[in-house]
Amino acid sequence: MKYLEYASHGVVGIYADLECYRDSVRHGETGFLYHNPDEFIAYLDLLVHDRPLREKIRRQAYDHVTSTRRFEQHIGERLDFYRSLLPRGTARRPLEAEVLQNAGETTVSPITEEVSRNRCSPNAWCKAIEGERDEICNAYCKRIPEYVQAKQTLGRMLNDVGEPAQALQVLEELRQRQPQSTRTLCEIGRA
């Protein structure tokens, strides 16, 4: 991930010569692979003193990542992989129509959109208009009982404003339905 993060931001990287980087980094072209601290320092010195080389490697790494590693280029493979994890014969349940309607063309949740509309942080929004916050979150939770993200968001927001007892009520209900949900378990831990 470090290679992808650096390259996608146009940063030249120097990486330990480990398996996870050997498949991505083309040594001397899209970054450098080092074996020991002396090599690491030597590559740093080289990059500091050779601006054209630094620019060339930065550009090549960026071009490599943007032309071969973009999510949309691999969405079919990713979907096939996730489907392969499902037990054989698992029925695919379609998303609730209301969830799809609220999703629109964005991956932002309706609650996050509501926070954005109020132009403030979720924490400030929670404190400023507590009743409205609860109303919005509870409306989604009641209208779409299976919309886990709405309840998780409500639990997070309650934790954010120092209401752990209320957060636990919401989150424990979720844990009964999805005992392995990492996001829910993390919020229970916060509470």
- The whole-angstrom separation of Cα 33 and Cα 102 is 46
- Percent of the chain past pLDDT 70, that is, above it, reads 68
Q: Taking 90 as the threshold, does the pLDDT of residue 56 lie above it?
A: yes
- Percent of the chain past pLDDT 90, that is, above it, reads 25
Query: What is the DSSP-derived secondary structure letter of residue 89?
Result: T
10 pLDDT band (50/70/90 cuts)? confident
112 pLDDT band (50/70/90 cuts)? very low
166 pLDDT band (50/70/90 cuts)? confident
pTM (predicted TM-score): 0.42
Query: What is the DSSP-derived secondary structure letter of residue 50?
Result: -
Angle at 117 between CA 114 and CA 122, to 5 degrees: 60
Q: Taking 70 as the threshold, does the pLDDT of residue 22 lie above it?
A: yes
For the chain, first and last CA: distance in Å? 30
SS (H, E, C) 118-180: CCCCHHHHHHHCHHHHHHHHHHHHHHCCCCHHHHHHHHHHHHHCCCHHHHHHHHHHHHHHCCC
Chain position carrying tokens 């400023």: 128
Residue 44 neighbours by CB distance under 10 Å? 14
